Amino acid sequence: MDLRLIPDPPATESPIGRALTAMAAGEPVVLIDDRAKVPAGFLVAAAEAVSTKTVAFLVRHSSGLLCVALSGSECDRLDLPPMPGAGQSPTQFDACVTVDAANGIATGISAHDRARTVALLAAADSCEGDFTRPGHVIPVRYAAGGVLRRIGVAEATADLAQAAGRRPAALFDAVVGLRRPTELADPCELREFAESHDLVTVSVSELIAHRLSLEPLVSRRATTRLPLRAETMHAIGYATVFGEEEHLALVTGDPAGLDDVPVYVHRECLVGDVFGSLRCECRHRLDNALATITAEGSGIVVYQKSNSRHTADASSPAQLSEEELFPFLAANIVQDLGVRSVRLLADQEPHRNAFRLRGLPTRMHRLAVTAIS
Ligand SMILES: [Zn+2]
């Protein structure tokens, strides 16, 4: 990948930049889960850097139900099985059996005791014998791939800790209302709370945008030569780094290092692509795009396969939709092919935006839709 095309890291004064600085220093941050059905706010902190004072602060201002997001492999290593019934609904997190530190604590419930338990959960050298079960801290297994795989508070906090350079173990707890302590804090109260304690506020949407814009999203797999249209193209397979979804780049010539490379992004349409259905323009658009890049001697068609994971859960708030995710995957595929700037062969506004956010200079070029016989 041409790293010159990756934009600079977030400015330190941006919400995500300030949140990562605070997390790296072990300070708590207010995370707004604006993607949940009922938006809520959480106090979150990198577990390995957290002090007893910070745990006391969390306990004082939150529900008191301290959770620590851990990877599946850490949960397995520390023998933390799922709590019976956990993770039944797609929006629910995967809670494990509760734990306390086996040594160095009194009853386990004080901030001091819970800080020790949290530190042990985050330590690379702790082991299953360091904990007693049940206890007063809830380990939560987050989905590998974080918010790009599942949009949840456990995934978001672990992502923040990791992006801050800390181990992906993160403490989180829901903030309670300032004026209505019997309820969770509403968005107004969350802002007020963060301001009064000089805490950084960051939203799950901001974290998702940060990851989609800056991180490697795909990795290159097999390349095959594909005779097509009296021309030999290269078909290059890509897989997402946070899942198993696969996409394809059809490449003519060698676009690496070139400017104004024609690029067309196509989303799989079985009835159109394979059977030439007249109910949509998919087949015509694909044919035209392939004809265009063949005629120009250099270009890319990104063919994105619809995946049951996304389509089946399109209505679920717990996963990114294809509409949201695919333009960024396409941009990263084009980046991986090393082009300097792009001419998008269609009116694909979300794609132009994604390409721009990933630092790829892009202009639009309307693709004429005419039948090719
Ligand atoms: Zn179609």
SS3 letters across 227-266: EECCEEEEEEEEEECCCCCEEEEEEECCCCCCCCEEEEEE
Confidence of residue 308 (pLDDT cuts 50, 70, 90): low
* 288 alpha carbon – ligand 1 mean position (Å): 14
Instruction: Evaluate whether residue 370 is within a structural domain.
Output: no
List the beta bridge partners of residue 262: 343
Instruction: Evaluate whether residue 36 is within a structural domain.
Output: yes
* 270 alpha carbon – ligand 1 mean position (Å): 7
Instruction: Evaluate whether residue 369 is within a structural domain.
Output: no
- The pLDDT of residue 154 is above 70: yes
Whether 65 and 164 map to the same domain: the answer is yes
Q: Given this model, what pLDDT does residue 7 score?
A: 47
Cβ 258 vs Cβ 298: under 8 Å: yes
Instruction: Evaluate whether residue 237 is within a structural domain.
Output: yes
* 60 alpha carbon – ligand 1 mean position (Å): 55
What residues contact residue 353 under an 8 Å CB cut-off, 6+ apart?
327
- What average pLDDT score do residues 307-335 get? 79
Pairing of strands 99-101, 131-141: antiparallel
Confidence of residue 202 (pLDDT cuts 50, 70, 90): very high
Q: Of 212, 238, 255, which closes a domain?
A: 212
Please report, for the domain that includes residue 96, its CATH number: 3.90.870.10
Q: Of 161, 189, 212, which closes a domain?
A: 212
Residue 201 vs residue 12, higher pLDDT: 201
Whether 248 and 339 map to the same domain: the answer is yes
Could you say which DSSP state residue 340 is in?
Answer: S
* 113 alpha carbon – ligand 1 mean position (Å): 59
Domain that holds residue 56: 3-212
Instruction: Evaluate whether residue 372 is within a structural domain.
Output: no
Residue 6 vs residue 324, higher pLDDT: 324
- What average pLDDT score do residues 322-327 get? 95
- The pLDDT of residue 189 is above 70: yes
Q: Given this model, what pLDDT does residue 373 score?
A: 41
Single-letter residue type at 70: L
Lowest mean pLDDT among 54-68, 113-127, 170-184, 313-327: 313-327
Whether 147 and 255 map to the same domain: the answer is no
Q: Given this model, what pLDDT does residue 10 score?
A: 58
* 277 alpha carbon – ligand 1 mean position (Å): 7
Confidence of residue 37 (pLDDT cuts 50, 70, 90): confident
Cβ 198 vs Cβ 192: under 8 Å: no
Whether 24 and 115 map to the same domain: the answer is yes
CA–centroid distance for 84 within its chain: 27
* 326 alpha carbon – ligand 1 mean position (Å): 16
Q: Of 153, 185, 212, which closes a domain?
A: 212
Q: Supply the mean pLDDT for the chain.
A: 90
* 314 alpha carbon – ligand 1 mean position (Å): 18
CA angle 9, 10, 13 (to 5 degrees): 140
Q: Could you tell me which of 215, 185, 209 has the C-alpha nearest to residue 30?
A: 185
Instruction: Evaluate whether residue 344 is within a structural domain.
Output: yes
* 82 alpha carbon – ligand 1 mean position (Å): 42
Cβ 327 vs Cβ 303: under 8 Å: no
* 346 alpha carbon – ligand 1 mean position (Å): 15
Whether 83 and 178 map to the same domain: the answer is yes
Q: Count of residues for the chain? A: 373
Whether 185 and 313 map to the same domain: the answer is no
Whether 139 and 273 map to the same domain: the answer is no
Confidence of residue 368 (pLDDT cuts 50, 70, 90): low
Whether 85 and 27 map to the same domain: the answer is yes
How far is Cα 345 from Cα 334, in angstroms, rounded to an integer? 14
Residue 349 vs residue 167, higher pLDDT: 167
* 361 alpha carbon – ligand 1 mean position (Å): 28
Whether 187 and 106 map to the same domain: the answer is yes
- The pLDDT of residue 45 is above 60: yes
CA angle 136, 19, 203 (to 5 degrees): 80
Cα distances (angstroms) measured from residue 288 to each of 31, 158, 276, 280, 311: 46, 44, 13, 14, 27
* 109 alpha carbon – ligand 1 mean position (Å): 58
Cβ 211 vs Cβ 197: under 8 Å: no
* 279 alpha carbon – ligand 1 mean position (Å): 7
Whether 78 and 93 map to the same domain: the answer is yes
The total number of structural domains in the chain stands at: 2
* 271 alpha carbon – ligand 1 mean position (Å): 6
Helix (H) and strand (E) counts in the chain: 12, 15
* 265 alpha carbon – ligand 1 mean position (Å): 13
Instruction: Evaluate whether residue 373 is within a structural domain.
Output: no
| Residue 323 CB neighbour total at 10 angstroms | 11
Whether 39 and 135 map to the same domain: the answer is yes
Confidence of residue 90 (pLDDT cuts 50, 70, 90): low
Cβ 273 vs Cβ 305: under 8 Å: no
* 55 alpha carbon – ligand 1 mean position (Å): 53
- What average pLDDT score do residues 25-47 get? 94
Please report, for the domain that includes residue 320, its CATH number: 3.40.50.10990
Q: pLDDT tens-digit profile of 222-260? A: 999 988 877 789 999 999 999 878 999 999 999 999 999
Whether 208 and 223 map to the same domain: the answer is no
* 85 alpha carbon – ligand 1 mean position (Å): 41
* 280 alpha carbon – ligand 1 mean position (Å): 5
Cβ 123 vs Cβ 291: under 8 Å: no
Instruction: Evaluate whether residue 101 is within a structural domain.
Output: yes
Terminus-to-terminus CA distance in the chain, angstroms? 37
